[in-house]
Structure 1
């Protein structure tokens, strides 16, 4: 497969790559925090950019990288120090911005899941080789002068060997180097990696920010409220759901579960079998994600009551009927964790998708029989 035809592990299908996203919505505080650190003259060499999926972490990392590569030296030079920057924005016509967009900047290195030539697919984890190649990058880029930047997207995907190799670079980083680690679940990272980075945390988008972000992504207004509800303030998840027709599939799940405490076996079997086969692999993954979202929303309903925004017709009434109190909420939350573990194991051992999904449906039915209000 030609390099330009290979899938990119850090791109959401159907959406621009983070390096191509010019405007970062809803994360002004994080941008200001980094800019303040830069202007202080005490910039950390390691930054851990954390937060939920799809809220702009990768976009911020590329924005920071472009800014650092384009900024003139702060040593003053012949004409004195330039005024401190007030924004991370860089003119798209700047030579360094052009190089970043083309993927050819000599002082930028990106660590991500590599492509496996044998299988013709992306590897499931970041292996040691891309991290070990940093040594060669640091050596070659040093001759070019200027600041060097590394983006790791995402750090959660590093295997143990890769993580230990990166730790060595964080312990003794070369001069004038910034390493940006993106993490959705920083709790799973090595404590020694976290201790050598300054954390920059991004929050969920507000409803107004979500609306603006989805409009920028070309999502029509009629779908926006339901996508916002289902994605939980993550524009990345909203785009993914939109591109994969996730709202329709979630509505099918709501119809199935609306018959609880008894579900229609015929509908359940049809939904499960729709995920079988190589061509339906993406639908299988989406189905598992949507089941997890349904369980999370059901558990939340037992604590806070009917959700303010519905992700599907009749969803709100169903959730409060299945989860009428806090005891039910805890049971649904426990089931969510159990089924998440079950789905991970099932996928790891290549369990038949239909069997796995049907088993999950039956577990949901069992819990509904205990708590569903009549």
Structure 2
């Protein structure tokens, strides 16, 4: 819940830029198996007190967590004393948006819910880089209050791997001795970064990436128009969150420019390379620089995959399959592209850390890509 006096317009650490907050999405697409797994545990009467919801970033993990929270807090607890028999077990997590609990959750005013996320640093005027122990300790006060509503209480931690060591230890103590009728939902993009003891005390729900149809539906729910959800799903690796960022930054257009540059290999068109470097390395365009790095890396990764498997992935843009096959005709070429991708990514990170000229970094990357292509037997 928001702390007293916290402004409504402050950035939220668990909201993707340009997209609605996951608590505002009432429908979940592409993850029926995970939803049914939770419902089976719920209907069995032996539901685990802690759930670790994992998978790539931007695929709907937080949306599932908020759906579970609404369901648990809006659904009456079975006291085993129904006069005319128990109602049929629920087969969906759907709760009407008009339900009072749904309204309160949307406004972050539901007393049965505690949200743990990176807080706003009022002194530095930015979000803190980690979830601090003070945030996790808020659960002690939360659970110290009398349970209202249907008697359940829910905690959402998003993202769990953002906890610092002290915060993680404090959460572990709560997991070891969970309060009655409490459910903890841990959203994690990188569960390997969590303490093994935290992971072992949670039941895991693993979510996969989204296909084109589910991607289109998720974007539509977010109020975002996508001209080609199939291409976006492939370029964004099945992540709706990544797709939103690509739409905002015209990622498909940039990927097309990179494709056109790679199409000039093995003798790279230096004028195209210079244009790409100048555009991605312009002063004050850090987001464009990062996206250009990502798109170049995406192209090389797809080349490596083509060479290693002998099969081209789903095309992002027309003509890509032919280009991938030409530049990565065998395992030797695939290995060369994979090695180059790892090396360039490392060099770019080091260069960015010491504030090297972004345009020069991008141009150097392009020239090394050209040199690699010239050495391959294409």
TM-score, with length taken from structure 1? 0.89
- Alignment of 1:260 onto 2:279: no
Residue 6 (1) aligns with residue 3 (2): no
Deviation, 1:295, is 1.9
Structure 2 counterparts to residues 9-48 of structure 1, below 5 A: 9-48=13-52
CA distance in 2, matches of 1:38, 1:2: 35
**1:240 and 2:245 are equivalent in the alignment:** yes
Contact 1:324 1:371 in 2 (8 A): no
Cα deviation, residue 67, structure 1? 0.6
Query: Would you say the 8 A contact 1:261–1:372 is kept in 2?
Result: no
Cα displacement string for residues 221-263 of structure 1 (whole angstroms, at most 9, x for unaligned residues): 6422321221222222222211221111111212222222333
- Relative distance call for 1:191 and 1:278 in structure 2 (3 A) is farther
Q: Is the 8 A contact 1:210 1:228 kept in 2?
A: yes
Please list the CA deviations of residues 150-174 of structure 1 after superposition, one character each: whole Å capped at 9, or x if unmatched.
1111123223332222222222222
SS in 2 for 1:317: helix
Q: Contact (CA 8 Å) 1:75, 1:81: kept in 2 or not? A: no
Q: 1: CA distance between counterparts of 2:239 and 2:110?
A: 30
* CA-CA distance at 1:37 after TM superposition: 0.4
**In structure 2, do the counterparts of structure 1 residues 216 and 348 end up closer, same or farther at CA, with 3 Å as the change threshold?**
same
Residue of structure 2 in register with 1:84 after alignment: 89
Alignment of 1:181-200 (within 5 A): 181-200=186-205
> What is the distance in 2 between the residues matched to 1:131 and 1:45?
17
- Matched residues in 2 for 1:242 and 1:342: separation? 27
Structure 1 position 218, deviation (Å): 5.4
Q: Residues of 1 paired with 2:359 and 2:346: CA distance?
A: 17
Cα shift at 1:145? 6.8
The secondary structure found in structure 1 opposite 2:205 is: strand
1:179 paired residue among 178, 184, 204: 184
Matches within 5 A, 1:266-277: 266-276=271-281
Q: Is the 2:112–2:148 contact (alpha carbons within 8 Å) kept by the matching residues of 1?
A: no
Cα separation, partners in 2 of 1:36 and 1:364, compared to 1, 3 Å? same
Kindly state the Cα deviation for residue 298 of structure 1 after the two structures are TM-superposed.
1.4
Moved more, 29-38 or 349-358: 349-358
1:263 aligned counterpart, secondary structure:
coil
**Structure 1 pair 84–302 and aligned structure 2 pair: CA distance change class (3 A):** same
Stretch deviating more after TM superposition (166-175 or 218-227): 218-227
Q: CA RMSD in A?
A: 2.7
Return closer, same or farther for 1:30/1:144 CA change in 2, 3 Å cut-off: closer
Aligned to 1:209: 214
Q: 2:165 maps to what in 1?
A: 160
Match of 1:104 in 2: 109
TM-score normalized by the length of structure 2: 0.88
Contact 2:56-2:189 within 8 A present in 1 as well: yes
Aligned length: 373
Counterpart position of 1:147: 152
Q: Per-residue deviation at 1:344?
A: 4.0
Asked if the contact 1:226–1:312 (Cα under 8 Å) also holds between the matched residues in 2, the reply is yes
Q: CA separation in 2, counterparts of 1:279 and 1:263?
A: 27
